[in-house]
Amino acid sequence: MTDPIADYLTRLRNAIRAGHRVVEVPASNLKKEITKILLEKGYILNYKFVEDGPQGSIKIALKYDPVHKVNAIKQLVRISSPGLRQYAGHKELPRVLNGLGIAILSTSKGVMTDKEARDLNIGGEVLCYVY
């Protein structure tokens, strides 16, 4: 597999379209950090790290509206890929849907959202957009 983050986002997208409550993805430190951000921003209900084997996995409980059964995540878009990295300096950080969505960045200070990176005046690799 050449792009594990794209695989992670695709598994989430497929589980949302199929209406699943829980999705299980192979774990890595970067995926764990992205999952923590999704929980902090209210896009998922909960997550659990399962330590089985050398790699382990992440079980993610997806968040749905109880009345209308609409998922909290409308779209997941992979921006930077292994063949074409997309970097942004602190002055040209993207704003997703004019601030309604988030951009997840990998910076020198760790994985964070565009708002946190803007506050710290640091740039980095734009991993994905979530809205």
Per-residue pLDDT, averaged over 89-106, amounts to: 95
Mean pLDDT of the chain: 95
Write down the pTM of the prediction. Answer: 0.94
Measured distance CA(89)–CA(62) in Å, rounded: 32
Question: 119, 121, 129, 120: which is closest to 94 by C-alpha?
Answer: 129
Model pLDDT, residue 63: 95
Q: What is 76-130's CATH topology?
A: Dna Ligase; domain 1 (3.30.1490)
Ranges of CATH 3.30.1370.30 domains, the chain = 4-62
For 4-62, CATH number? Answer: 3.30.1370.30
Confidence of residue 24 (pLDDT cuts 50, 70, 90): very high
